[in-house]
Structure 1
Amino acid sequence: MPATLRRLLATPEFKLTLLSTDAASLSRLDEPAAWVHSSDLADPTPFLSSGQVLLTTGTQFGAGPAATSADEYVERLVACGILGLGFGTEVIREGTPAELIEACDRFGMPLFEVPYRTPFIALIRAAADMVAADAYARNTWALEAQGAIARAALRPDGLNATLAELSRQLGHWVALFSPGGGLERVFPEESLQGETLAAVREEATRLVRRGQRASSTITIGGEQLTVQTLGGLGRLRGALALGGSGDLDEAGRDVLTSVIALASLALEQNHALDRARSHLRSGVLHALFGGGIELAAGIAREMWGPLPSGLVRVAVAPITTGSTDAATDWLALQVEQRPGDLFFGLLDGSLIVVLEEGAIGLLDELGREFSMPVGLSDPVTYARLGEARQQAQQALNRALEIGPGVVAFDTVSQQGVLAFLARTNARQIAGATLRPLVEHDEAEGTELVRTLRAWLESNGHFDQTARELGVHRHTVRSRVATAERLLGRDLSTFHARADVWAALLAAGDPAGAA
């Protein structure tokens, strides 16, 4: 129990009298006192430090020009962080000066009266004993807490048990964040939510992305929160956050430091295990796509739970330096929470997910949370898993053009085969095919490319094309004839029309075909 003014005032043999009655002064009686000091200097603050209690006999408040103003004196003490002021009576004067009582009430400084028969040295010694006893008690607590935490670390779920024990010992909530900023676990459960969770996640992500061991303190809703990265330089494994009522003292900080070291070691070991699990996941995927479905299902069941059943879909996403680790950590958590809904792994430079129809929503969250483009296949049986992977890859090629998010293969297939040409190297061939028309338009100021596109879109109807372009049908016929001559093709045949239409689709903007 720390030394406080309330404890000194409650010691019967000192016969101390509290003179302060204002709420500000009374609220400070339970603050820990670092020491008790005595001085009659007009300005003793150069020799004092915050959190101390000062004793004086009032010599500085005598008569004459050198006398100290009570207001100025108390204001200096408050600015220095002095916790309380004791006035020794019947040494220089009887009773405590009224102006000093008023000044202490005005500035919120606790003031108490020390009777003549209570020596200052007795108060100083009593406070010193309290400080020493509290330091011993806190050191003893720290040793016991570290022992309890060390024993917790030896349990099968060592990291969880360690963090839970830390939370219990400190009386604070403790949260662990992944390198990607995901909340992996918190003790007690549900103790970190809403605005506080968002702020702590943002700070944890910021520190981890710097790639250096670091810690910071933020204040949310009047609560002071501590965030500390875990892991070594260049291989940070996440961040530990801690918050609760009251600041940690030195003993509490020592306990927290020891847990940070244990958690960093545990995460490093977990990372090595995760790498082994990742290789095993890749092997299971190899077996699945190679037709060894029973072998893959048996391994997966023993390690992570059952594979998705019935019709499944395959999703493919690119492996990136910045987000893949965080994404796989997040997917591993989804597998734990939804066993049998999905399986994932890294294979041939891609992140591959096999999942049930009902789990497709997870892919939207994956793409949004980690800014990843994702390609998704049609539903298939396990016998057609290889085909589904090809579909997912084709959908991913389209997703890479669009940006983060999910593109399903059925969306690509509905656009048709010819539309797919616009996203391949057929663009150069199309440009060469249409170049005579583009050059003629540029040289003569004609609109052969625009007319030909509109004519093919209207299925070769001259009247409809003329109405769309706002010209006479004979103009359309003349332009199409000129295009036939320049292209060297008879556009009355289906093959020629299909070929030119494919070239127009692949070229995109007609100006880009030159």
Structure 2
Amino acid sequence: MRLLPLAGSLDRPVRWVAVSELEDPTPFLEGGELVLTTGMRLTADFRPYVGRLVERGVAGLGFAVGLTHEKVPEELVEAAAAAGLPLLEVPRETPFIAIGKTVSELLAAERYEELSRAFAAQGRLTRAALRPEGTHALIDRLAREVEGWAALLGESGEVEHATPDARLDTVVPVLDRLRRASRDGHPAERPLSSVALSSPGEHVIVQPIGGVSRRIRGFFAVGAPHPFSPVAHTVINAAGSLLTLALEQGRTLVAAERGVRSAVLALLLAGEIEQARAALAPLGGRLPDEPFTVLAADVETLEPLEPHTFTSGGIALVGEVPALLDGPVGASSPVLYGELGSGIDQAARALESARKAGAGTVSFAELAGQGLLALLDPAAASAFASAMLAPLHEYGSRADLIESLRAYLTANGHWDAAAQRLGVHRHTLRYRMKRVSELLGRDLDDPGVRAELWIALNSSGPGSRRSSRS
């Protein structure tokens, strides 16, 4: 074969060979073919024929000589040159089938080379993923494989690792689009897809990283100044699979470690301190020295503490209370391991107060400073008060009895002071207190009974302190 003078661009990839004698073979072409013809049906005006081939995107035209035409028509040469279509002269002794076989063999060899290069690149990516740096080393290797840059980003778009020349300014709008796609629709119905961006001198692919739940758990981006080859696309997809695998393995490891810490907490509550230390040691963790403070909060709030101290679920044991955590936190008073159960209860009560107040960290000591009633569960205290004072509420002149009881307890059992507060004679007050004692079936001279009645009066009713604060 001979390439005729004035041939067009020769950098077009040949994807297949098509033999056709039609005046318009384009309906049967996909683009990228080397079209072979003897020209038996072509007229003197070759420009429409060449124009249709160029518009379809064929790679070139092979014209056989020695059959219908002794040589390639000059009009065809001029039309091909004007349209930039490569034109080959095919001698009679060269059968079209031989050209087809040669192109097929070259395509097969090219494909094999691509697969070999892709397989080798996947091996290098896998070895990088197994290094101590893990996903960071994988991102660095990916950048070298595509001769560009790469970056690993978290679920919210925060940069976890990136090569120095990463163009992350182009990635931010894509992340917003992918996150919106992740939130819309049923998880089983939305495929995790990548987004490709192309501009002069910059080609970028952003791909989400999802686990078995199909929820997007992160992203990675890769860019290069040149278009990505088929090998590069294969390598990028392989990197996505390795990153997903690393993410799932990491989540499985975290779940296993949290299971161990939950068992350690159970041992601590059972008083098995040394066994708890031994169980925690393989994780590289240690228990704080005594005395320590128990923190209670949402699991997400305590996550930043996991690498530094013992945590289990929504509980953390710390030597010092951290200055700032993102969310409401309850802190116990300093406790020993033998008092861990009490410390957890204190922290839980402080957490409830922090949530109600919209505060950051609330300590149990602060609650204790607000008095005994601040330490009681409001619902439990109210139920206790209702049950204890029910006989007085059911009595006809209950207001006199309840207010008299309040004045009597406020005066610490002194008849004259309590009667003066009520504006009644002390004998009237004695009668009322005798009636209260009979209705309640309690001895008002008992200090324990007085304490219970005082709590009940201040936990329920229009005149209670708890009500006056709410």
Q: Which TM-score applies when normalising by structure 2?
A: 0.58
Between structure 1 and structure 2, the one with the greater Rg is 2
What does the per-residue CA deviation read over 1:416-457, in whole Å, with 9 as the maximum and x for residues that have no partner? 44355573233345567599999x9xxxxxxx9xxx9xxx9x
The residue type paired with residue 343 of structure 1 is F
Which residue of structure 2 lines up, in the alignment, with residue 352 of structure 1? 315
Superposed, 1:302-313 pairs within 5 Å as 303-305=283-285, 312-313=292-293
Is contact 1:153-1:161 (8 Å) kept?
yes
Is contact 1:310-1:381 (8 Å) kept?
yes
Cα 1:157–1:284 change in 2 (3 A) is farther
Which residue of structure 2 lines up, in the alignment, with residue 210 of structure 1? 187
What is the distance in 2 between the residues matched to 1:190 and 1:359? 37
Is 1:225 the counterpart of 2:225? The answer is no
Which residue of structure 2 lines up, in the alignment, with residue 142 of structure 1? 118
Question: SS at the partner of 1:49?
Answer: coil
1:112, CA displacement in angstroms? Answer: 1.5
Which residue of structure 1 lines up, in the alignment, with residue 295 of structure 2? 315
Q: Which runs of 5+ in 1 are unaligned?
A: 1-10, 20-28, 102-110, 319-323, 368-373, 441-447, 460-476, 478-484
Which residue of structure 1 lines up, in the alignment, with residue 223 of structure 2? 244
Is contact 1:175-1:241 (8 Å) kept?
yes
Correspondence for 1:112 among 74, 84, 108? 84
Correspondence for 1:376 among 322, 330, 333? 330
The residue type paired with residue 281 of structure 1 is R
1:397, CA displacement in angstroms? Answer: 3.4
Is contact 1:167-1:173 (8 Å) kept?
yes
Is 1:393 the counterpart of 2:348? The answer is yes
Which residue of structure 1 lines up, in the alignment, with residue 258 of structure 2? 278
1:168, CA displacement in angstroms? Answer: 4.0
Superposed, 1:92-103 pairs within 5 Å as 93=75, 96-97=78-79, 101=82
Which residue of structure 2 lines up, in the alignment, with residue 463 of structure 1? none
What is the distance in 1 between the residues matched to 2:214 and 2:181? 15
Superposed, 1:152-163 pairs within 5 Å as 152=128
1:129, CA displacement in angstroms? Answer: 6.4
1:390, CA displacement in angstroms? Answer: 2.1
What does the per-residue CA deviation read over 1:110-154, in whole Å, with 9 as the maximum and x for residues that have no partner? x42546757797998886666444322211102222333454566
Cα 1:150–1:113 change in 2 (3 A) is closer
Is contact 2:15-2:107 (8 Å) kept?
yes
Correspondence for 2:309 among 306, 326, 342? 342
Is contact 1:230-1:239 (8 Å) kept?
no
What is the distance in 1 between the residues matched to 2:19 and 2:370? 88
What does the per-residue CA deviation read over 1:292-323, in whole Å, with 9 as the maximum and x for residues that have no partner? 667756765663355567875422246xxxxx
Cα 1:393–1:204 change in 2 (3 A) is farther
What is the distance in 1 between the residues matched to 2:167 and 2:287? 33
Is 1:173 the counterpart of 2:150? The answer is yes
1:268, CA displacement in angstroms? Answer: 5.9
Is contact 1:217-1:225 (8 Å) kept?
yes
Cα 1:133–1:293 change in 2 (3 A) is same
Q: Which TM-score applies when normalising by structure 1?
A: 0.54
Superposed, 1:174-213 pairs within 5 Å as 175=152, 186=161, 188=163, 191=166, 195=172, 198-199=175-176, 202=179, 206=183, 210=187
Cα 1:59–1:284 change in 2 (3 A) is same
Is 1:62 the counterpart of 2:45? The answer is yes
Is contact 2:13-2:32 (8 Å) kept?
yes
Cα 1:237–1:308 change in 2 (3 A) is farther
Is contact 1:196-1:220 (8 Å) kept?
no
Is 1:502 the counterpart of 2:459? The answer is yes
Number of equivalences: 410
What is the distance in 2 between the residues matched to 1:270 and 1:425? 43
Identity %: 24
Superposed, 1:434-473 pairs within 5 Å as none
Question: SS at the partner of 1:62?
Answer: coil
Is contact 1:316-1:392 (8 Å) kept?
yes
What is the distance in 1 between the residues matched to 2:209 and 2:465? 54
Is contact 2:151-2:221 (8 Å) kept?
yes
Is contact 2:34-2:58 (8 Å) kept?
yes
What is the distance in 2 between the residues matched to 1:61 and 1:418? 107
The residue type paired with residue 29 of structure 2 is L
The residue type paired with residue 244 of structure 1 is G
Is contact 1:342-1:359 (8 Å) kept?
no
What is the distance in 1 between the residues matched to 2:88 and 2:345? 94
Q: Which runs of 5+ in 2 are unaligned?
A: 64-70, 411-422, 424-431, 438-449
